[in-house]
Amino acid sequence: DERYNFKETEAKWQRTWEESGAFVATIDPARPKYFVMEMFPYPSGRIHMGHVRNYTLGDVVARHKRAQGFNVLHPMGWDAFGLPAENAAIERGVHPAKWTRENIASMREQLKSMGLSYDWGREVATCEPEYYRHEQKMFLDFLKAGLVYRKESWVNWDPVENTVLANEQVIDGRGWRSGALVEKRLLSQWFLKITAFADDLLQSLKGLDRWPERVRVMQENWIGRSEGAKLSWDVVGRSERLEIFTTRPDTLFGAAFLAISPNHPLAAELARGNAELTEFIAECNRMGTSEAALETAEKKGLDTGLKARHPFVPGWELPIYVANFVLMEYGSGAIFGCPAHDQRDLDFARKYGLPVKPVVLPPGEDAITFAVGDEACAGDGILYNSDFLDGLGVEAAKAAAIDRIEKESLGERTVNWRLRDWGVSRQRYWGCPIPIIHCDSCGAVPVPEAELPVRLPEDVTFDRPGNPLAHHPTWKDVACPCCGKPARRETDTFDTFFESSWYFGRYCSPLAETVPFEKTEADYWLPVDQYIGGIEHAVLHLLYSRFFTRAMKTCGYLEVKEPFDGLLTQGMVCHETYKDEAGAWLYPDEVVKQDGGLVHAETGRPVALGRSEKMSKSKRNVVDPAYIIDTYGADTARLFMLSDSPPERDLEWTEAGVDGAWRYVNRLWRLVGTVIESLPPAGSTMPELGAEALKLRRQTHKTIAGLSDDLERFAFNKAVARLRELTNALGEVKPTTPDLAWSLREGLEAALLMAAPMMPHLAEELWAELGHAEAVTATPWPKADPALLVEDSVTVAVQVNGKLRATIELPKDADPKLAEETALAQAPVIAAMSGKTPRKVVVVPNRIVNVVV
Ligand code: ANZ
Ligand code: ZN
């Protein structure tokens, strides 16, 4: 039998949409706007299934909103700077610019083959000077506004390659290429003052009620507001006091030690002439600075020999350690440790034989017998062993302790933030040059605005380690803009999160030359109404974008402060994994089913089935979208992406699933072909409808109502299920009478309009076949007639003394009085009561009337 020719059809409609400018967005104050955007891809070379899912979701939203009458902006672009391009240059000798532009070209074609409703005229690529020149200007504006500063900060240094490494280039403490132990080095770097907005970034999370709760919590934790106290301790034999930060001043009487960070100035001072301490500090610095590294590393310390005097107990002296788990960048880089009530402190105390004295008694415990085992008690309880705090709950004790600390001028209440300022300097080539010139006399001088952009030179070489910009023979030599003396360009480039922090703004005015975007256009389109992308960006990218929007507002670029009003984080695309007998991963197309088991397609040797995991090159459990689109068409791929699970959940890619989607596409196509000759012309008036035609009509309108609601809630899998149900019902109708034929056309048309966001090519094709001159993309979303949605009647059983005597038809949710009256008027019921008056009548709405005589 005949099959739907998706190849021809899909190409045809993609051309038609492009030629008619169907998705070109322009400001229209008369219509409500809707800005929907998916996270733009890194141009790695080919799209993967994660992209297909992400962009399908966005496209359904965009097409649905457009049909609903919104003025939709749906753009796409390329997050085009980054390390892989440089690696390609080093490994394969191809220039990052060439590599990136070629990848963009092929991925653009792939995206176009999916039939996505983008306004391609707004495409941006962040590696082009037309894009990045604006962020250079913004950086200088932020600098003027006091939102940028320069500070020494630690970087990973590869001593063999003599180069700075990105965190992801450090593997188990070693340079990824050289294998050398990575060192820490202090470099002067640029920081964006994200902490200036810490409070607002935290408070405003509450208003983001169209964001997943999970993401808001992750941001909240990342910002990490901690209330506590600063407290200065006397150090025996020294005039300077040692300041610590604590969130648990209530546990002061359970203190066992003080600890300072290996990078604390006191540690550096003590290390002078102390080989053991010097080596310990060096060891800590080799460990990697990430919090995750610190979290998992064994807690280690070295006793400095110094003692601190307890603030409230005369004569009590505590040892001061240098400890690897104390961060210099948090609080004051020093702590007091209370082993009984903090797990890290407990591990530390057990290792170094320090006392573990509980001071908070957990509920239900006995003060005499209670002891701390392997687990610290971080929970609530009543203070004991604690002098003036005895008997208080934890919160009250914190307040009392801080009051006393403040009264005795030992310290004060403070709020600490986990959030750090954003270091944006990267010692890399393929990024946006930082528009600064360094002069020996004038210091760091901004590049004059008239000289922007600072273009990234393309005549660079990758034949030796380090940053090609620094090796360039002439690029960095310039005259100082202030004094004219010879000076040097900054050779660092921005962190690539810089580009993605404002691209939503650029989409509003992609061609603006003198400004990143026209304020009027940004004020019209922003905020983004719906942003869709991976949960892996729940913290950094989204937080940086929220910061950038505030900074841009501060500098007068736009009016909004939150960039993304709605956020949908989609789940991963997963697939089974396979291994051969030697334990090597196999691609799905190397594996075939045989006798209920799996074997290698070529060798016939047994294959082990592993669990389903996120598709990844390393496990080879990938299916290439290009292959799927080529074999089944874009509509099938899109439909399957939507069918199986709600968008937030992981999706299991299976051949059976794709097959099912493909069969449905064909069923719908064949259905229209089969009945088309029997249908009345498009737009004919409704004839008198018989019962069967009316029933179908009701189902059509119920589907419209339900499916519209599904789309509104992003319950795309439910929407697909509903569409399939309607299709089944339509498939059963024989259009033998004019009323049935009319209802069938109405149902088919509604089905196509509703299918259009999911399977746009097929919908257009069949819509045209049904005789419509206007494309689906220019046709409004179908409307459900509310009168057809009410369930008109229900069948209700009538029992007399528990025996069924009659059934009656009642309006749905009818008044119980009406139910009782109708029931008692039925002849069999009257007969069964044999003249007696009922003692009781019980009405279960829509189900039963029980008469007791
Ligand atoms: C004593 C204490 C007793 C603490 C106790 C906790 C429990 P958050 O909630 O993240 O703000 N701390 C302070 N500065 C630190 C630093 N630079 N590096 C590592 N740890 C540091 O954590 C605050 C707590 O973390 C502080 O409260 C301090 O230990 C520790 F039963 O003080 B606490
Ligand atoms: Zn100068």
Beta strand 591-594 pairing with 477-479: unpaired
Three-state DSSP class for 801? Answer: coil
Ligand that comes closest to the CA of residue 485: 2
pLDDT at 466 (0 to 100):
82
> Which residues, including other chains, have CB under 8 Å from residue 636's CB and lie 6 or more apart?
6, 628, 658, 661, 662, 665, 759
> For residue 341, which atom of ligand 1 is closest to its CA?
31
The response to whether residue 326 sits with its C-beta less than 6 Å from ligand 1 reads yes
Rounded distance from Cα 510 to ligand 1 centre (Å): 47
Paired residues of 808 in beta bridges: 796
Q: Report how far residue 559's alpha carbon sits from residue 508's, in angstroms, rounded to the nearest whole number.
A: 14
Residue 219: name the closest of 692, 705, 477, 547 by CA.
Answer: 547
The response to whether residue 336 sits with its C-beta less than 6 Å from ligand 1 reads yes
pLDDT at 52 (0 to 100):
97
The response to whether residue 338 sits with its C-beta less than 6 Å from ligand 1 reads yes
> For residue 376, which atom of ligand 1 is closest to its CA?
31
Rounded distance from Cα 448 to ligand 2 centre (Å): 13
Closest-CA residue, ligand 1 atom 4, reads 248
Three-state DSSP class for 835? Answer: coil
One-letter amino acid at 449 equals E
Can you list the alpha helix ranges (DSSP code H) found in 34-167? 49-67, 83-92, 96-112, 129-144
Pocket test for ligand 1, best of 290, 335, 394 (most atoms within 8 A of CB): 335
Q: Do residues 470 and 491 make contact, with C-beta atoms less than 8 angstroms apart? A: yes
> Which residues, including other chains, have CB under 8 Å from residue 359's CB and lie 6 or more apart?
250, 251, 253, 254, 338, 340, 341, 383, 384, 385, 386, 389
Paired residues of 438 in beta bridges: 444, 488
Rounded to 10 degrees, the C-alpha dihedral 406/407/410/414 comes to 0
Rounded distance from Cα 479 to ligand 2 centre (Å): 8
Q: Which residues of the chain have pLDDT under 70?
A: 1, 168, 287-294
Q: Report how far residue 258's alpha carbon sits from residue 323's, in angstroms, rounded to the nearest whole number.
A: 9
Cβ count within 10 A of residue 14: 19
Using CB atoms within 10 A of its CB, is residue 8 exposed (0-12), middle (13-18) or buried (19+)? exposed
Residue 741: name the closest of 668, 665, 682 by CA.
Answer: 682
Q: Which two tokens stand for residue 86?
A: 């440089």
Ligand that comes closest to the CA of residue 478: 2
Q: Do residues 469 and 436 make contact, with C-beta atoms less than 8 angstroms apart? A: no
Q: Which two tokens stand for residue 264?
A: 């604390």
Paired residues of 319 in beta bridges: 307
Rounded distance from Cα 260 to ligand 2 centre (Å): 40
Q: Report how far residue 329's alpha carbon sits from residue 514's, in angstroms, rounded to the nearest whole number.
A: 39
Residue 579: which H helix or E strand, with range? strand 573-579
Closest-CA residue, ligand 1 atom 32, reads 246
> For residue 331, which atom of ligand 1 is closest to its CA?
14
Residue 548: name the closest of 192, 199, 175, 819 by CA.
Answer: 192
Can you list the alpha helix ranges (DSSP code H) found in 21-94? 49-67, 83-92
Q: Do residues 158 and 182 make contact, with C-beta atoms less than 8 angstroms apart? A: yes
Classify the C-alpha dihedral 525-527-531-536 as positive or negative. positive
CA 474 from centre of chain: 42
Rounded distance from Cα 187 to ligand 2 centre (Å): 21
The response to whether residue 330 sits with its C-beta less than 6 Å from ligand 1 reads yes
Cα angle 489, 493, 495 (rounded to 5 degrees) comes to 155
Ligand that comes closest to the CA of residue 482: 2
Ligand that comes closest to the CA of residue 251: 1
The response to whether residue 645 sits with its C-beta less than 6 Å from ligand 1 reads no
pLDDT at 291 (0 to 100):
61
Q: Report how far residue 412's alpha carbon sits from residue 244's, in angstroms, rounded to the nearest whole number.
A: 11
Q: Report how far residue 334's alpha carbon sits from residue 326's, in angstroms, rounded to the nearest whole number.
A: 7
The response to whether residue 251 sits with its C-beta less than 6 Å from ligand 1 reads yes
Rounded distance from Cα 505 to ligand 1 centre (Å): 40
Residue 18: name the closest of 26, 10, 6 by CA.
Answer: 10
Pocket test for ligand 1, best of 221, 233, 246 (most atoms within 8 A of CB): 246
Cβ count within 10 A of residue 459: 10
CA 268 from centre of chain: 41
Closest-CA residue, ligand 1 atom 23, reads 247
Closest-CA residue, ligand 1 atom 29, reads 246
Using CB atoms within 10 A of its CB, is residue 11 exposed (0-12), middle (13-18) or buried (19+)? middle
Q: Do residues 283 and 297 make contact, with C-beta atoms less than 8 angstroms apart? A: no
Residue 727: name the closest of 763, 694, 761 by CA.
Answer: 763
> For residue 337, which atom of ligand 1 is closest to its CA?
1
> Which residues, including other chains, have CB under 8 Å from residue 169's CB and lie 6 or more apart?
83, 156, 175, 176, 177
- Give phi and psi for 437, each to the nearest 5: -120, 135
The response to whether residue 416 sits with its C-beta less than 6 Å from ligand 1 reads yes
> Which residues, including other chains, have CB under 8 Å from residue 213's CB and lie 6 or more apart?
none
pLDDT at 296 (0 to 100):
75
Beta strand 567-570 pairing with 530-534: parallel
Pocket test for ligand 1, best of 245, 360, 394 (most atoms within 8 A of CB): 245
Radius of gyration (Cα) for the chain, nearest Å? 35
Rounded distance from Cα 477 to ligand 2 centre (Å): 13
Q: Report how far residue 708's alpha carbon sits from residue 723's, in angstroms, rounded to the nearest whole number.
A: 11
The response to whether residue 247 sits with its C-beta less than 6 Å from ligand 1 reads yes
One-letter amino acid at 501 equals S
Residue 39: name the closest of 47, 51, 24 by CA.
Answer: 51
366-377 per-residue burial string, b: 16 or more CB within 10 A, e: under 16:
eeeebebeeebb
Residue 532: name the closest of 114, 56, 70 by CA.
Answer: 56
What one-character DSSP code corresponds to residue 312?
Answer: S
> Which residues, including other chains, have CB under 8 Å from residue 225's CB and lie 6 or more apart?
198, 199, 202, 415, 416, 417, 418
pLDDT at 483 (0 to 100):
98
Rounded distance from Cα 249 to ligand 1 centre (Å): 10
The response to whether residue 414 sits with its C-beta less than 6 Å from ligand 1 reads no
> For residue 330, which atom of ligand 1 is closest to its CA?
17
What one-character DSSP code corresponds to residue 834?
Answer: T
ipTM: 0.94
Residue 664: name the closest of 564, 740, 758, 745 by CA.
Answer: 758
| 617 marked ligand binding residue | yes
Q: Do residues 411 and 229 make contact, with C-beta atoms less than 8 angstroms apart? A: yes
The response to whether residue 246 sits with its C-beta less than 6 Å from ligand 1 reads yes
Q: Report how far residue 197's alpha carbon sits from residue 591's, in angstroms, rounded to the nearest whole number.
A: 53
pLDDT at 615 (0 to 100):
92
Paired residues of 411 in beta bridges: 231
Pocket test for ligand 1, best of 247, 299, 327, 395 (most atoms within 8 A of CB): 247
Residue 573: name the closest of 484, 652, 657, 682 by CA.
Answer: 652
Q: Which two tokens stand for residue 655?
A: 């051949």
Residue 302: which H helix or E strand, with range? strand 301-309
Residue 419: name the closest of 330, 498, 502 by CA.
Answer: 330
Rounded (10°) angle between helices 691-712 and 49-67: 120
Rounded distance from Cα 452 to ligand 2 centre (Å): 18
The response to whether residue 327 sits with its C-beta less than 6 Å from ligand 1 reads yes
- Give phi and psi for 60, each to the nearest 5: -65, -45
Q: Do residues 647 and 716 make contact, with C-beta atoms less than 8 angstroms apart? A: yes
Q: Report how far residue 851's alpha carbon sits from residue 853's, in angstroms, rounded to the nearest whole number.
A: 7
pLDDT at 294 (0 to 100):
67
Q: Do residues 313 and 255 make contact, with C-beta atoms less than 8 angstroms apart? A: no
